Each structure stands twice: as C-alpha cells, then as structure tokens.
C-alpha cells in the first residue's frame, strides 16, 4: 500500500505546469470559439445597422408647398390633358415665389420634381371645379435637394465639388425659412412603380410582380411537390426507377439557381415562345427551383406520422389512397406548410434566374396580369443598386428593408405553424 | 377567348362530377347496390373529362404562337425576304407581331401591314378553334363518362389509377427538369462549340466576349478562353473559404461542446438568419459598406485598391457561408457516438482535448462533406459577385485586383441582347454547362462522403 502523499497521484507527482498548460489550451479554444461567434454575430449586426441607417431616410421625402393658380386661360375644362400644364407650373412658381428674379425661377424649376406637373394635373382631372381657383399642394422636391435637406450633401464642400451650387442652396434655404419645406412620409415608395427620378420611384410594380410570381410558383410547386412526395414516400415500389427519381431530386436541390435561369431562357422563352419579363415565366422557373425543397419537407412530414394511424385506417377498410389523403396528409399538413413557406421565402429573395428571363426591365407601370412585363422585389433592388443617382442608394436600402420585412413575416409564420400545430407522437 | 376556354374546362369538370354522382345516387335510390361510393363515380368522371381538356388547352396555347408565326412568314409576298439571314427574318417577324398588337412605330411597308392583319386574323381563328375543340372534346368525354355509371362499375379503382398516374407524373417533373437543364445546356453549347473550337474555350487565356452583334457596333474581335474566368471564380471561392471555414468550424465547436443550452438556443437561430438573407442583399451590402471600407483602408496603407475586388466579394460571400458550414459541422460533431467522447473524458482528457483529438477527427468526413457543399455554393453563387466583383476577365490571383466569375459572365452576357445565333449569347450556355457539371460533381462527391460516414456510425 502506497502512502498517500499530498500533491501526487498514484505515487507520482502531478506535473502542475503540464496541467496548467492543458487548461490554458482549453481556454484558448473556448476563446477562439467565442471570438468566431462574436465575429459572425457582429457581421449580422453591421449588415442590419448599415441597411437601416441608409434605408430609413428613404421612408421620408422632402416636399415643397406650392401655390398653384389654375387659371381658366391655361386649363381648358373640355381638354384637361391637352392643356398647357407647363404654363400652369410657371404660374405656380411665380405665385409661390412672388418677388423672385428670373434666375431664381429657373432654379425653382429644377428644385421641384418633374412629377409635380402630374400631381397637379391629377388633382384637377379628379375635380374640374378647381379651374379658376388657387390650389395649395405639396409636391416632392427633386433628388439633390432632398439629399440636401436630409444632410447628405455637405454645405462645407467647395462649390465646384458640390452637386448643388450656392444659388440653388440659397433658394432652398429661402423656401425653408418661409416654412414651405416639409418632410413627409414617402408614400410614393409603395404607391408608385419605378421611375428614372428617385423621388418618383416606388415599389408598387415590384410588389405586384413579386406577388404574381410567388402566386404562380406556389400554385405549381405546392400540388406537384406534394404529389411527388406522396408517391415517393407512400406508393413507389423500392426499385431502381424510384432511386433514380430520388437522386434526381436531391441533385436538383443543389443546382445553382442561375442554371435554372438558363433553363428558363432556353426552354420557356426561346423554344416555347413564352413572353420575356413576365411573372408567369418567373413563377414557373422558381417553381422548378423550390420543388425539391417542398418534396423533401413533405416526405419528412409524412414520415413523422406514426404507422398506427395508417394501420387503423386500413383496418376499417379504407383503400391505400383513402388512408393517405384522408388521414395521413391532414396530419402531416403543418409540417408540409412549414417547409413550403420556407421554400417560398427562399423564392421571394431569388434574383439570378429572374434576371436571365428579363425581369430587370425598366417598367413604369405595375403589371395588370401575370403575362405583362414586370419586375420583382429582388430584381428591383438590383436595378436600383446599379443606378448612378445618389437618391437610389437609400431607396435600395429601403427596398431591401421591405424585402427583409416580408421574409421575417414568412419565417415567423413558419415557426408559429411549427410550434402551434406540429404534434410529437 | 382563352378565359372562355378555361371556363368551359371548369364547367365541364364540375358538370361531369355532378352528373355522375347524381346518376350513381339514383341507382342507390332505386334499390341497387353500387360497387363504389357515389363520390368516386363523380371524381372519376371529373378526372376523365378535366384532364384531357386541360392537356389540349395547354398544348394548343404553347403551339399556336410558333405555328402562326410560321404561317405568317410563309405567307409573305415572294421576294421580300430574299437575302435576309435568320436574325433579320426574326426582326421582321418581331415588327409584324408588334404591329399586330397595335404598336405601330414609324411607317411600316405595305406588306408588313398586310402580314400583321393576317396574323391578327389567324390568332382570332386559332382561339375560336381552340374554344370549339375544347367544347367538343368536353362534350364527348361527358357522354362517355356518363355512360360508365352502373352498379358494377369499379369507379374507385379507375379513380385511384388516374390519381396514381398523376402522382407519378408529379415525381417525374423533377426528372424532366434535370433532363431539360442538361438538354438545353448541351444543345446551346454544341452550337457555341461549332463557332468556337472546344480547345480554344477550355485552354484559351483570353476572355473578351464583347463582340459586335449588329454591323454598326464597335467592338473587339472576341476571344472565348474560359481560363481567366474560372481562375477568378477560384480566387473568390478560396477567399470565401479561408474566412468562412475557420469561423464556421470554431463556432460549431464552441456551440457543440462548451456553450450552455440557453446560449446555444439563442445563438443558433440568430446565425441561421445569416443563411436566410437573400444574396442580393449581401451584394448590395458589399458595395455599400465593405468595398468603401476596404478602399479607404487600402488608401490609408498606401495601396491602390480597385473599386471591385475579389477580396470584397470573397469576404461577403464568407458571411453567407458561415452558418452553412457551422451547421454542417455541428451535425457532424453531434453524430459522433457519445461513447467516444465519454471514453476520452474518462481517461482524464480535458473537454478541449476531447474535442480536438477525438471528436473533431472522428467528424472530419462529415465536415469535409459540408465544406465541399460550401465550395459548390460559392462557385454557383451569383448576386454577390455580380454586384461586388468585376466584369473584365484578368489572369490574376491578386485578391486586390478586380476579377470576374463564371456566374457574373453568364449574367452579363445574357442581359440585354439575347439573340440565340451569336457566340456571345451561346458562350453563357457553355459556361452554364461547365458550372452545372462542376457543381454536380462536387455535390455527388460530398453527398457520398457524408452518407458513407453516417453508415459507419449508425
């Protein structure tokens, strides 16, 4: 029997230095792990903060209050659209800035947006009784002045490097002092379609385009995906043919999205002659892309339904299809829907295949049907990200925030469904 | 007219269901015993009527455009198309169809107006014929379906056979898609390789696809050697992996072994958010934040950095890949049998030693599979590089230079002019074929490694 000597283990001294070294090694590993997690999380934070800080400015727009005399000489009630709206705007400039010089009036013409004319015209068209009266209306200012008001143009920069010269800034300040400048919520962002002018550009076309595209995608991918999953999970004989289909689906899930765009361009547009830029073709393409996701999710959900359900139904005389469609499928539905929503969220953010089928066209009207030319949210973001105007930078961020908002809602819905309805057997 | 045809389809399907169901119910009321439930009689009739009419409508709609185009082109007065090549004929056809839609630009020649009129007439006839054909087919099938109702008729078997066929068709859609991808890519690539020799494409070191499409455009001669393009792709991918793999693996190790349950339950979903962000958002983030930051950092160090660099594209792509790699590694570590871990701990190893010397080596195959899948993702990733990397192909491995990638070239070549008869457009399909083959090979390899390894421990 060895004596128990403190500081030793089975008679041998513990090598204190070595233990300390090993502990230190473990500490380092933990520290590195924490640093890695910190890095990943901080990237997410930087991503979101930079988008929010650049995007929130696009949710407001600088407006100027115009006084517009609608004189009967300028506007003909019989032919409102053909009237001299340029003349009306000239009157408006003179009425808003009563004692302005000719140069100042010219600067003022640049200051208000090109869309001001349409706004006034639309008001008068809606209410012809306004002819002969004086109208007060808030119109957006053009992009550089909007930037100035939001502090994105530095007044301290030398004039030759600034996007606005001293005269322009002076006029803007004069309007500001007169209390005519107002920062208002930018509803244009959701009520208008795309435009060359940032202050008039909105997401309406892209939102409707995305809606149609996702709708078509869902109508095709959901039934076909479920049908395929039910066949493979419940009815397919275990043979080479079924294996071949399975391998196909798994590989399809990993094909780069841009390849689906090439498929759509060559087959749907070039061979079948379907229209370019149409949400219908976009939906068709995305349906092929998300189908593997839906099939895989559906199979997992079907597998989770316990065999006792099937056996009970078979026992009371249901046919195999009745078992699946009347008993197993309803029980698997929450899981299927969760997978489908996640697939749809993925499709909503997908850009590359849609670019190839021409959904990045410049379109100033919202599509009326799924066969009209349209953009979608991500392709609109791509168009704006590529635009040189400064005003589109914050609008791109705003559009991204809208897109991320939709994704958060969809994923939240999927998580809710999973927690609320999914049963553990 | 198309809407009317679909209305006929819907009405016929509903009528078939209702008629047969009622007929079956009458047999029961008359004291008969049916083999199948009434609803199966109805469902069988609905499928028998609805499916053929639906197929007819889809085929008709797909075929009518090309057929009418051909008829209009063949019906043009003799001589007007003489001396035109395929592209010019296409332009004539486009003009005629836009006139037919009512969009007249300038003053088209008399024969074009006549052709447009003919096209409108043919379209009208075609829709009328489609409606008539759908109606006749629907009626015929309705009568047939109605005639099947009898006490002995095995409606359930018929119905289930059709449903089974439909489900097999759904499963085959995946096969059709793969076949469509392969055929489309190969078909267009063969056309490309007729114009540009294969060896020039595979081994050429110059990529200058901006050739003249129309005679009045000024452009270079064009060179289609994909080596600089694939080199750029590899550079971006390597940068992305160099950043993402260590961060992803360390994250997985910490979360798997050291993190408390609460910390893990909180961090994991947040990291997964990174994987759910659309790639266009990362692309914009790269040009909004990362590229200016790298540029100003370079300027402060006295290095001239180009506005689009492989470094920026790679780093931003790495952010996207981190959750991907970490969740794969996490799964691989979790799949290592508990006995290995417990054994190591029982022998007196610290948790760190257990992780690095026992668990991690045991999980290596799964982790390698995950990294391979990440590589295939990085190669196929499009929107980040479209926005953050360049367009000009250069033979360089300097991360601070501008490089281009396969996916960027596919997008830039196919945006704008897309006539399918010049090497510029077709080159995109050749690149797409290469991309498809490379990612497919990597995916198959990765899945095989992962599966083999799983079997080892199960």
- Chain B residues closer than 8 Å to A258 by CB: 380, 382, 407, 410-411, 432, 435
Buried b (16+ CB within 10 A) or exposed e, A57-70: bbebbbbbebbbeb
* Final residue before a domain boundary, out of B97, B124, B153: B153
Contact A403 B281 (CB under 8 A): yes
What confidence score (pLDDT) does residue A185 get?
Answer: 85
Q: Which residue do the tokens 């909004």 mark?
A: B288
Claim to verify: residue B405 and residue B314 sit in the same structural domain:
yes
The CA distance from A208 to A196, in Å, is: 19
Contact B174 A360 (CB under 8 A): no
Closest by Cβ to A231, choosing from B168, B180, B382: B168
Contact B231, B203 (CB under 8 A): no
Q: Is the dihedral of CA A287, A290, A294, A295 positive or negative?
A: positive
Chain A residues inside the 8 Å CB shell of B255:
33, 37
For chain B, say whether A259 makes contact (Cβ under 8 Å). yes
Neighbours of B151 (CB within 10 A): 13
| pLDDT for the residue numbered A5 | 59
**Interface mutation vs chain A, best among B126, B383, B419, B443, most A CBs within 10 Å:** B383
**DSSP one-letter string for B262-273:** HHHHHHHHHHHH
| pLDDT > 70: percent of chain A | 96
Say if A277 is an interface residue toward chain B (CB within 8 Å): no
As given in the structure block, the two tokens for residue A354 are 């849609």
Buried/exposed B359-387: b ≥16 CB within 10 Å, e otherwise? bbebbebbbbbbbbbbbbbbbbbbbbbbb
**pLDDT given at position B417:** 59
Q: How far is A415 from chain B (nearest CA, A)?
A: 11
Looking up tokens 């168009």, which residue turns up?
A383
pLDDT tens readout for residues A367-386: 888 888 899 999 999 999 98
Domain boundaries, chain A: 57-186, 204-421
- CA nearest B335: which of B170, B453, B172? B453
In a domain, B431, yes or no: yes
Say how many CA atoms lie within 13 Å of B43 toward its Cβ: 15
Identify the pLDDT of residue B213.
Answer: 53
pLDDT digits (tens, 9 = 90+) for B217-263: 555 567 888 888 999 999 999 999 999 999 999 999 999 999 999 99
Question: Quick count: other Cβ atoms within 10 Å of Cβ A130?
Answer: 16
Assign A98 to helix, strand or coil. coil
Q: Residue B223: helix, strand or coil by DSSP?
A: strand
- The stretch A73-78 carries a mean pLDDT of 78
pLDDT at position A8 over 70: no
The arithmetic mean of pLDDT across residues B381-387, rounded, is: 92
Sequence-distant (6+) residues with CB within 8 A of B324 are B244, B248, B275, B370, B373, B374, B377
Distance, CA of B374 to CA of B237 (rounded, Å): 9
Angle at B281 between CA A163 and CA A284, to 5 degrees: 120
pLDDT in tens, A85-126: 888 888 888 888 887 788 888 888 888 888 888 888 888 888
Q: What is the mean pLDDT of residues B321-327?
A: 93
A263 touches chain B (CB under 8 A): yes
Is there a single domain that holds both residue B306 and residue B444? yes
Range of the domain at B149: 2-153
Last residue of a domain, one of B133, B153, B173: B153
pLDDT confidence bin for A57, thresholds 50/70/90: confident
Residue A34 near chain B (CB below 8 Å)? yes
**Which two tokens mark A227?**
């049908």
Torsions phi, psi for A135 (to 5 deg): -110, 140
pLDDT of residue B181: 94
Out of A27, A44, A378, whose CB is closest to B270?
A: A44
**For B218-314, where are the E strands, in sequence order?**
223-224
Tell me the pLDDT band of B211, cut-offs 50, 70 and 90. Answer: low
Per-residue pLDDT tens over the stretch B37-67: 888 898 999 999 999 999 999 999 888 888 8
Q: Which residue of B has its CA nearest to A415?
A: B269
From chain A, pick out residues whose CB is under 8 angstroms from the CB of B229. Answer: none
Instruction: Give yes or no for residue A3 having a pLDDT over 70.
Output: no
Q: Which of B250, B407, B412 to mutate to test the interface with A (most CBs of A within 10 A)?
A: B250
| pLDDT value of position B221 | 62
Q: What is residue A12's predicted lDDT score, i.e. its pLDDT? A: 61
Q: How far is A37 from chain B (nearest CA, A)?
A: 5
> For residue range A184-196, what is the model confidence (pLDDT) as tens digits?
888 888 888 888 8
Separation in Å, CA A114 to CA A1, A117, A120: 100, 7, 11
What DSSP designation does A142 have? Answer: P
- Please, are residues B119 and B72 in contact by the beta-carbon 8 Å criterion? yes
3-state secondary structure of A229: helix
Cross-chain residue pair B376–A230, CB shorter than 8 Å: no
CB contact under 8 A, B380 and A39: no
**Is residue B230 a contact partner of residue B408, using CB atoms and an 8 Å limit?**
no
Mean pLDDT, residues B271-287 taken together: 91
A287 touches A217 (CB < 8 A): yes
B350–A23: do the CB atoms touch at under 8 Å?
yes
Q: Is A350 on the interface with B (CB under 8 A)?
A: yes
Which of B251, B429, B447 has the CB atom closest to A266's CB atom? B429
User: Minimum mean pLDDT among A109-123, B98-112, B172-186: which range?
Assistant: B98-112
Per-residue pLDDT at A81: 76
List CB contacts (< 8 A) between A26 and chain B: 350-353
Is pLDDT of B299 > 70? yes
Contacts 24+ apart (CB under 8 A), B437-445: B438/B376, B438/B379, B439/A254, B439/A255, B439/A256, B439/B376, B439/B379, B439/B380, B440/A251, B440/A255, B442/B372, B442/B373, B442/B375, B442/B376, B442/B379, B443/A251, B443/A254, B443/B372, B443/B373, B443/B376, B444/A251, B445/B372
In a domain, residue B245? The reply is yes
> What is the count of structural domains for chain B?
2
Is A237 near chain B, with CB under 8 Å?
Answer: no
**In a 3-state reduction of DSSP, which class is residue A13?**
strand
What is the distance between the alpha carbons of residues B378 and B365, in angstroms, rounded to a whole number?
Answer: 20
**Mean pLDDT for chain B?**
87
Q: Residue B418: its pLDDT value, please?
A: 62
Q: Give the model's confidence band at A259: pLDDT under 50 very low, under 70 low, under 90 confident, else very high.
A: very high
Cβ atoms of A145 and A62 closer than 8 Å: yes
For residues A39-61, average pLDDT: 91
- Is B366 found in the same domain as B271? yes
For residues A139 and A112, the answer to whether their CB atoms sit within 8 Å is yes
Q: Residue A293: name the closest of A348, A254, A242 by CA.
A: A254
Q: Do residues A405 and A243 touch, judged by C-beta distance below 8 A?
A: no
Q: Has residue A284 got a pLDDT over 90?
A: yes
How far apart CA B189 and CA B187 sit, in angstroms, is 5
Whether chain B has a CB inside 8 Å of the CB on A220: the answer is no
Q: Report, as an integer, the average pLDDT of A241-262.
A: 90
Residues B280 and B421 both lie in one domain: yes
**3-class DSSP state for residue A183?**
strand
pLDDT at B412 over 80: yes
Cβ atoms within 10 Å, residue B136: 10
Contact partners, residue A287, CB within 8 Å, separation at least 6: A216, A217, A220, A221, A224
What is residue B439's predicted lDDT score, i.e. its pLDDT?
A: 93
**CA dihedral defined by B264, B267, B273, B279, rounded to 10 degrees?**
-110
pLDDT of residue A309: 92
Which alpha helices (H) appear in B75-109, and where do they start and end? 86-100
Q: Is residue B165 part of a domain?
A: no
pLDDT at residue number B214:
52
Cα separation, A53 vs B163, whole angstroms: 54
Per-residue burial over A182-196, b if 16 or more Cβ lie within 10 Å, else e, is: eeeebebbeebbbbe
Domain identity same for B328 and B249: yes
Q: Are A140 and A146 in contact (CB under 8 A)?
A: yes
Evaluate if residue A4 carries a pLDDT over 70: no
Q: Which two tokens stand for residue B128?
A: 């009328």
For residue B422, pLDDT over 90 is answered with no
> Per the structure block, which two tokens stand in for A94?
């003179």
**Is B172 among the domain residues?**
no
Strands A60-69 and A134-140: antiparallel
Interchain CB distance below 8 Å, A385 and B379: no
How distant is the alpha carbon of residue B393 from its chain centre?
A: 25
CATH code for the structural domain at A204-421 = 1.10.3720.10
Sheet of strand A134-140, all strands in order from the earlier edge strand to the far edge: A134-140, A60-69, A181-185
Q: Is the pLDDT of residue B451 over 90?
A: no
The percent of residues in chain A predicted with pLDDT above 90, rounded, is 40
Run of H or E including A69:
strand A60-69
Closest Cβ–Cβ partner in A36, A346, A358 for B251: A36
Between B416 and B29, residue with greater pLDDT: B29
Using the beta-carbon criterion (under 8 Å), do A397 and B178 form an inter-chain contact?
Answer: no
Does residue B166 fall inside a structural domain? Answer: no
Query: How many Å lie between the alpha carbon of A6 and the closest alpha carbon of chain B?
Result: 19
Whether A37 and B270 lie within 8 Å, measured CB to CB: no
Quote the minimal CA–CA distance from A66 to chain B in Å. Answer: 35
Lowest model confidence (mean pLDDT) among A184-193, A300-309, B259-268: A184-193
The answer to the question of residue B160 being in a domain is: no
CATH of the domain at B407: 1.10.3720.10
- Between strands A181-185 and A60-69, the pairing is antiparallel
Query: For A267, which residue in chain B has the nearest alpha carbon?
Result: B184
Q: Which residue of B lies nearest to A404 if distances are taken between CA atoms?
A: B277
- pLDDT class for B176, splitting at 50, 70, 90? very high
Nearest CA in chain A to B157: A319
* Complex-level ipTM: 0.88
pLDDT the model gives residue A349? 93
CA A189/CA A399 separation, integer angstroms = 9
Which structure tokens are listed for A220?
A: 């095709």
- In angstroms, the separation between the Cα of residue B365 and the nearest Cα of chain A is 19
Question: Residue A259: its chain B contacts at CB < 8 A?
Answer: 181, 185, 380, 432, 435-436
For residue B416, the model assigns a pLDDT of: 67
B262–chain A nearest CA distance, Å:
15
Q: Is residue B457 very low, low, confident or very high in pLDDT (cuts 50, 70, 90)? A: low
Min distance A353 CA to chain B CA atoms (Å): 9
Take residue B82 and report the two structure tokens written for it. 């003489």
Tell me which of A422 and B288 has the higher pLDDT. Answer: B288
Is the domain of B128 the same as that of B17? Answer: yes
């Amino acid at each position: 029997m060895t004596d128990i000597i403190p500081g030793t283990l089975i008679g041998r001294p513990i090598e204190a230095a070595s233990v300390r070294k090993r502990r230190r090694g473990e500490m380092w590993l933990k520290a590195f792990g924490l640093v890695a997690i910190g890095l990943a999380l901080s990237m997410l934070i930087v991503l979101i903060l930079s988008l929010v800080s650049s995007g929130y400015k696009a949710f407001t727009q600088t407006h100027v209050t115009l006084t517009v005399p609608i004189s009967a000489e300028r506007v003909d009630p019989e032919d409102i659209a053909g009237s001299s709206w340029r003349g009306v705007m000239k009157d408006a400039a003179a009425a808003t800035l009563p004692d302005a010089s000719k140069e100042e009036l010219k600067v003022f013409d640049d200051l208000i947006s090109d869309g001001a004319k349409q706004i006034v015209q639309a008001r008068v068209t809606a209410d012809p009784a306004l002819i002969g009266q004086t109208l007060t209306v808030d119109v957006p200012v053009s992009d550089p002045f909007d930037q100035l008001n939001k502090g994105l143009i530095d007044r301290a920069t030398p004039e030759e490097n600034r996007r606005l010269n001293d005269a322009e800034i002076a006029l803007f300040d004069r309007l500001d002092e007169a209390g005519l400048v107002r920062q208002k919520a930018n509803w244009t962002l959701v009520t208008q379609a795309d435009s060359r002018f940032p202050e008039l550009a909105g997401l309406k076309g892209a939102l409707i385009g995305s809606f149609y595209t996702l709708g078509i995608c869902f109508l095709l991918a959901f039934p076909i995906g479920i049908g395929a999953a039910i066949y493979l999970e419940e009815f397919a004989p275990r043979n080479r043919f079924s294996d071949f289909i399975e391998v196909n689906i798994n590989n399809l899930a990993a094909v780069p999205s841009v390849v689906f765009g090439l498929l759509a361009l060559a087959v749907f547009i070039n061979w079948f002659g379907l229209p370019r830029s149409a949400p219908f073709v976009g939906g068709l393409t995305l349906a092929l892309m998300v189908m593997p996701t839906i099939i895989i999710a559906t199979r997992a959900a079907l597998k989770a339904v316990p065999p006792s359900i099937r056996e009970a139904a078979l026992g009371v005389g249901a046919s195999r299809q009745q078992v699946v469609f009347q008993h197993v499928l309803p029980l698997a539905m929450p899981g299927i829907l969760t997978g489908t929503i996640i697939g749809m969220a993925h499709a909503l953010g997908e850009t590359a295949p849609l670019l190839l089928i021409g959904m990045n066209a410049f379109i100033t009207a919202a599509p009326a049907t799924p066969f009209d030319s349209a953009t979608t949210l991500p392709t609109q973001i791509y168009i704006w990200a590529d635009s040189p105007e400064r005003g589109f930078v914050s609008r791109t961020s705003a559009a991204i925030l809208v897109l991320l908002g939709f994704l958060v809602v969809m994923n939240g819905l999927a998580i809710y469904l999973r927690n609320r309805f999914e049963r553990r057997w | 007219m198309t809407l009317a045809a679909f209305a006929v389809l819907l009405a016929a399907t509903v009528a078939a269901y209702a008629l047969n169901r009622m007929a079956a119910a009458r047999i029961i009321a008359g004291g008969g015993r049916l083999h199948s439930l009434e609803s199966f009689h109805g469902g069988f009739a609905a499928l028998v009527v609805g499916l053929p009419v639906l197929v007819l409508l889809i085929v008709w709609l797909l075929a009518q455009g090309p057929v009418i185009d051909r008829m209009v082109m063949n019906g043009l007065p003799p001589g007007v198309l003489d001396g035109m090549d395929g592209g010019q004929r296409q332009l004539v056809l486009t003009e005629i169809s836009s006139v037919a839609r009512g969009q007249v630009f300038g003053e088209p020649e008399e024969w074009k107006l006549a052709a447009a009129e003919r096209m409108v007439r043919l379209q009208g006839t075609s829709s009328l014929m489609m409606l008539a054909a759908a109606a006749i087919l629907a009626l015929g099938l309705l009568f047939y379906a109605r005639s099947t109702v009898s006490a002995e008729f095995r409606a359930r078997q018929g119905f289930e056979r059709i449903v089974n066929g439909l489900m097999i068709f759904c499963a085959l859609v995946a096969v059709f898609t793969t076949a469509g991808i392969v055929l489309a890519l190969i078909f267009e690539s063969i056309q490309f390789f007729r114009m540009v020799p294969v060896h020039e494409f595979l081994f050429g070191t110059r990529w200058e696809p901006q050739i003249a499409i129309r005679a009045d455009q000024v452009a270079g001669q064009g060179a289609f050697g994909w080596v600089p393009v694939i080199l750029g792709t590899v550079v971006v991918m390597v940068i992305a992996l160099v950043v993402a793999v260590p961060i992803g693996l360390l994250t997985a190790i910490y979360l798997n072994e050291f993190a408390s349950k609460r910390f893990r339950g909180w961090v994991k979903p947040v990291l997964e958010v990174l994987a759910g962000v659309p790639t266009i958002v990362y692309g914009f983030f790269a040009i909004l934040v990362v590229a200016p930051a790298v540029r100003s950092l370079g300027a402060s160090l006295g290095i001239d950095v180009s506005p689009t660099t492989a470094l920026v594209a790679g780093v931003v792509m790495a952010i996207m890949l981190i959750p991907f790699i970490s969740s794969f590694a996490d799964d691989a570590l979790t799949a290592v049998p508990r006995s290995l871990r417990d054994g190591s701990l029982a022998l007196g190893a610290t948790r760190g030693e257990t992780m690095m010397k026992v668990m991690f080596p045991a999980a290596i195959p799964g982790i390698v599979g995950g990294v391979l899948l990440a590589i295939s993702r990085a190669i196929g990733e499009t929107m980040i590089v479209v926005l953050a990397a360049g367009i000009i192909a250069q033979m360089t491995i300097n991360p601070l230079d501008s490089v281009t990638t396969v996916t960027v070239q596919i997008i830039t070549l196919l945006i704008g002019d897309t006539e399918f008869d010049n090497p510029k457009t077709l080159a995109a399909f050749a690149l797409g074929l290469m991309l498809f083959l490379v990612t497919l090979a990597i995916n198959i390899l990765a899945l095989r490694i992962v599966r083999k390894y799983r079997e080892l421990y199960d």
